[in-house]
Chain A
Amino acid sequence: MKHHRKMYAVALVIVCNEETATDIVQDAYVRLWKNRTSIATIDNTEAYCITVVKRLCIDNLRRRNRETAFEDCLSMPEPHDEGRLARSIEASDSLEYVGSLLSNLPERQRRVVELSAIAGMDNDEIASATGYGEANVRTLLCRGRKRLRELFGKE
């Protein structure tokens, strides 16, 4: 279980809920255990594990009413939600700095940039997880990154 920490962090960033993230990591490990014979032939097991977590997170978000879930995530953050990056900020100066930059972005831009930069998701994965179209994701990323660059240049 050497990747469980990162798997949990990725799941937490994507689903914005500690309990759900824990369940997803459990499911991911069960799935990995069932495929234990094929995992032996994989070179980069960490990337494989993260990919499994991402897919489970996307499935989880799809099962929920995607728009509602995402709006809830943005507009009515749960108590756990407050700490998803704050928890990271406590752990790292880099995260603290990036977190402070991200907090200045509009919610949707922040969400998309977070999924791309922190969770390491590609645009199609972000589109699946958020329910946005890929073009919309690209637009939000574009604006978010440019806004980050402006904020970063001021520092």
Chain B
Amino acid sequence: MNERNIHNLRQHLAEWYDGGMTQEEQSQLLADLRAADNLPDDLQVDMRLLESLAEAADAINEIDIPDDLESRISDAIADAAHRERNAVAARWKKAISSVACVAAVACVIALICIVSLNPTEGLDIKSDGLAKNGDTIESIQTAVQQLPMQEAIAKFGNETATERDNKPTYASTTAANISRSASSKRHKAAKATLAKTAAEGNIEAEAMSDEQMRIFASGMQNFRQGMKTATNECADNFAHSRSGAVSAVRSSNADMQRVRTNMFNTNDDYIIAL
């Protein structure tokens, strides 16, 4: 080994003794010392010191370690893995919940738009039914007005003087009774009163009363027929309205079903995309 190399080694050793050098530089210095032949005695002492320190550093691999170190490391890693899985699951849940919320809000908005742009059929039918109910009321009023009260009163104009004055009163009373009440009980009472009044009259009056009764019976029949017709129309209109409402509800249910299907499809797409 030439003087120059010896000089370089001494410089490096001086740097090491000065507290400098990285671990790599120390390793390189030891390697250079080991590779050198015919080292001076002082440098050989330095080399042995560095070798002893390096061997001591390597020997720490042989020190005792706690018996449970490996198991504790395994447990720590298993715990970390468990936490990581939970964190991933939590992130998935959060993402799916967010998507579901967004889809639900979108569905509500879509429903509102659909309803505002296309009024339901049920509402139309209901309005139609209400209008028809109005017509029915008018027809009832017409039927009542067409009751043969005036006709009966006109016919009483041929009665005798003694009874003629009373006939309009009877007719008005009967008409008032009939128009005041729609119940058959009252109608019967009116008929009974009228019959009683007729029985109390003379023969002509009885004959006229029979005629009157026949006319009133005919009027009552017309009245009943009118009431029946009006009732049937009411029932039809109600059924129509109800059918419209049911149709509207079914239509809404169908819309909701389509929205739910779209929402599930959206969820599936999102999950597939993730």
Q: Which residues of A contact B (CB under 8 A)?
A: 1, 4-6, 8-10, 12-13, 18, 22, 25-27, 29-30, 33-34, 87-88, 91-92, 94-95, 97-99, 101, 117-123, 137-142, 145-146, 148-149, 152-153
Tell me which residues from 39 to 60 in chain B have a Cβ below 8 Å from any Cβ of chain A: 45-46, 48-49, 52-53, 55-60
Chain A positions within 8 Å of B59 at CB level: 88, 91-92, 94-95
Say if the beta carbon of B22 comes within 8 Å of chain A: yes
B22, B55, B60 — which one has the most chain A CB atoms within 10 A of its CB? B60
Ordered by A's residue number, 19 sampled pairs between the chains whose C-beta atoms are within 8 Å are A6-B60, A6-B61, A13-B60, A22-B66, A27-B76, A29-B73, A30-B76, A88-B59, A94-B52, A94-B56, A94-B58, A97-B52, A97-B56, A98-B55, A117-B57, A118-B56, A123-B19, A145-B19, A149-B46
Q: A92-B59, A152-B52 are in contact. Are A8 and B17 (CB under 8 A)?
A: no
Q: Tally B residues with Cβ within 8 Å of A.
A: 34
Which of A9, A26, A92, A117 lies in contact with B72, CB distance below 8 A?
A26
Q: A145-B16, A149-B17, A149-B46 are in contact. Are A12 and B63 (CB under 8 A)?
A: yes
Which of B18, B46, B60 lies in contact with A9, CB distance below 8 A?
B60
In the complex, residue of chain A having the shortest beta-carbon distance to the beta carbon of B79 = A30
A117 touches B56 (CB 8 A): yes
Which of B19, B56, B57, B61 lies in contact with A142, CB distance below 8 A?
B19
Chain B positions within 8 Å of A120 at CB level: 23, 57
Q: Which residues of B contact A (CB under 8 A)?
A: 16-20, 22-23, 45-46, 48-49, 52-53, 55-66, 69-70, 72-73, 76-77, 80-81, 84
In the complex, residue of chain B having the shortest beta-carbon distance to the beta carbon of A152 = B49
Chain B positions within 8 Å of A12 at CB level: 63
B55 touches A1 (CB 8 A): no
Report the Cα distance A49→B265, complex, angstroms. Answer: 48
